[in-house]
Chain A
Amino acid sequence: MKAAAFAYARATSVVNALELLAAHGDRAKVLSGGQSLMPTMNLRLISPDIVVDIGGLRELRGIAVKGDVLVIGALTRHADLLNSPEVAAHAPLLRDAVTHVAHPAIRNRGTIGGSLAHADPASELPACIVALDATIVVRGSGGERRIAATEFFKGIYETALSSQELLVAVEIPVAAEGSTFFFQEYARRHGDYAIVGLAAHAVVRDGMFADLRLGFFAVGDRPLLASAARTLVDVAITSAALAEAAVTLASELDPQEDQQASSAMRRHLAKVLLVRCVATLLSRPELATGVAR
């Protein structure tokens, strides 16, 4: 299908974009790369009265290290993340995740800000920024505010962003000494939305987790920072401890059922990913055999 008719405004600056959003409120939609917005409009799931195109705001595109924070502008494209030496050095989880985000033609247009503001619970980047303990920078007419990634996602396609605010950047703490990352997802076709996925960040010391953040996606209405991870920190990991953590994980998930998978299948796959993740991060392949089978 094709999108219903809408008016179009090309924002000339962030201030101008905010004026347009203030004038039109929730009758407006912000267009960055359009790779989530356009399908949604073409399928007529939404029909905004006006589209505010921020695609030309070059000041919102780019990656920079400021002190111990990696700052990624909202209009930074998936392809930019994939090719960035700063991302590779300080947040390689994002690079690993982006190889699973759709396909090259879509990565050339899709933006990190667009993906986060769209907040599809099956998409990769929201789970990554939750696992990375990132902060989302939002600007409104009253100024700027910072929202923890864990507080940003409120439900399916719902965020803490008001209709008069613009997501302008993401701030990610640079990877600490001993940081390791894990990213894996199940999808019917490489690049499709995940059936279940896991983005994880750990700090490993002396064979144990000093920190472990597990960001599961496509298992509920928003990315889930699994509290099951807490049972695995600062303890010697055994197969039994891991099996127990998998049970805890299953109980905190509330996966939806759809044409791709039942809730039970999603719970099972999440447990499999947990076990693989822990075995991989600790370089202990023996942990991946025999548990959650």
Chain B
Amino acid sequence: MIAPIPVSLLVNGEQVDAAVQPRLNLADFLRDNLKLTGTHIGCEHGVCGACTVRIDGEIVRSCLTLAVQAHGTAIETIEGLSDSGEIADLQAAFRERNALQCGYCTPGMLITAQDLLQQTAMPDRRAIREHLSGNYCRCTGYQAIVDAVEATARARAERSA
């Protein structure tokens, strides 16, 4: 039996201390240990993007990150981004434009889209597609998602103007 490793990290602003098996990935840690099930698991090898979270402000694949690697970091999940209101307008735009159907990819899509909007105020559709290229959606055909991200960018630009 392999001894658990102690980890301390911030998750959505709250201090978390735990002891975890080295093989436990961050996605499973968030879902099973912390019951933050908004982070979804699709492919478990980095292809689908459903497990996207932020570590120290940068988006990463939580299925390709071990929980032990998150020691000393600050994690933000879809629950954190949602509760803080940071992406309320983006979520509203997704609803209005039917940019989700089953919703499985949506947490990853929202986090990845917000990452783009933080880097680029007015991305064009090509840039939106490229930034979201690592996130699979099997329902919408992507057009509505690109629409929603574009509309959010425009609305934010108008608000800050």
Are B22 and A51 interface neighbours, CB within 8 A?
Answer: yes
Name the prevailing secondary structure of the A interface residues: loop
Task: Tell me whether B64 is interfacial, beta carbon within 8 Å.
Answer: yes
- 56-79 of chain B: CB within 8 A of chain A: 58-61, 63-66, 68-69
Q: Is the CB of B131 within 8 A of A104?
A: yes
Q: Is the CB of A43 within 8 A of B49?
A: no
Let me know if B133 and A38 touch, CB within 8 A.
Answer: no
- Once the chains bind, are A7 and B2 in contact (CB under 8 Å)? yes
**In the complex, what's the smallest C-beta–C-beta distance from B68 to chain A, in angstroms?**
6
Binary contact track A1-37/B, C-beta < 8 Å → 1, others 0: 1111111101000000000000000000001001100
| Docked-complex contact B134 and A103, CB < 8 angstroms | yes
Selected interface stretch from A67-75, A105-113, A225-233, A234-242: A105-113
Q: Residue A42 at the B interface, CB < 8 A?
A: yes
Partner of B112, one of A10, A31, A104: A104
User: Quick check: B22 and A6 within 8 Å, CB to CB?
Assistant: yes
B28 at the interface (CB under 8 A from A): yes
Bound together, the chains give a CA A4 to CA B25 distance in angstroms of 11
Pick from B2, B46, B59, B112: contact of A38, CB below 8 A: B46
State the CA gap A109–B64 with chains docked (Å): 9
The residue that A34 contacts in the complex, of B28, B44, B65, B115, with Cβ under 8 A, is: B65
Query: Which residue of the partner chain, among B46, B58, B65, B135, contacts A102 with CB atoms under 8 Å?
Result: B46
Report the minimum CB–CB distance from A53 to chain B (whole Å).
7
B60 and A105 within 8 A (CB): yes
Contacts of B63 on A, CB cut-off 8 Å? Answer: 38, 42
A293 interface residue (CB < 8 Å to B): no
Choice from A1, A35, A51, A79 contacting B64 with Cβ under 8 Å: A35
B21 within 8 A of A: yes
Contact partner of B59 (CB less than 8 A), chosen from A5, A7, A104, is: A104
Which of the residues A34, A39, A43 comes within 8 Å of B66, measured between beta carbons?
A34
B2 touches A105 (CB 8 A): no
**Does A62 lie at the interface of the complex (its beta carbon under 8 Å from any beta carbon of B)?**
no
| CA distance in complex: A31, B61 (Å) | 15
Question: Are A104 and B64 in contact, CB atoms less than 8 angstroms apart?
Answer: no
When distances are taken between beta carbons in the complex, the residues of chain A under 8 Å from B46 are: 35, 38-39, 102, 106
Tell whether A191 is near chain B: CB-to-CB under 8 Å. Answer: yes
Residue A173 interfacial (CB < 8 Å): no
How far apart sit A42 and B46, CA to CA, in the bound complex (Å)? 10
By a CB distance below 8 angstroms, the chain B residues around A189 are: 133
B59 near A34 (CB under 8 angstroms)? no
Measured between beta carbons, the chain B residues less than 8 angstroms from A10 are: 68
Q: Given the complex, which residues of B lie within 8 Å of A102, measured CB to CB?
A: 46, 134
From known contacts A6-B23, A51-B22, A108-B60, infer whether A103 and B44 are also in contact, taking CB-CB under 8 Å.
no
- CB of B152 to closest CB in A, whole Å: 18
Would you list which residues of chain A between 170 and 199 have a CB under 8 Å from chain B?
189-191
From residue B62, how far is it (CB to closest CB) to chain A in Å?
9
Q: Is the CB of A106 within 8 A of B134?
A: yes
Residue among B23, B28, B58 with the highest chain A CB neighbour number at 10 A:
B23
Q: Which of B2, B69, B130 contacts A6 (CB 8 A)?
A: B2
Q: Closest chain A residue to B46 by CB distance?
A: A39
Does A1 contact B44, Cβ atoms closer than 8 Å?
yes
A244-260: which residues lie under 8 A (CB-CB) from chain B? none
Other-chain residue from B5, B23, B49, B66 in contact with A103 (beta carbon distance below 8 A)? B49
Q: A2-B23, A31-B66, A38-B45 are in contact. List 11 more A-B contacts (CB 8 A).
A: A5-B21, A8-B22, A8-B68, A34-B65, A42-B25, A42-B45, A104-B131, A105-B134, A106-B64, A108-B59, A190-B130
Residues of B participating in the A interface, judged by any CB pair closer than 8 Å: 2, 5, 21-23, 25, 28, 44-46, 49, 52, 58-61, 63-66, 68-69, 112, 115-116, 130-131, 133-135
A and B contact pairs by CB, cutoff 8 A, 6 listed: A6-B2, A7-B22, A39-B46, A51-B66, A105-B60, A190-B133
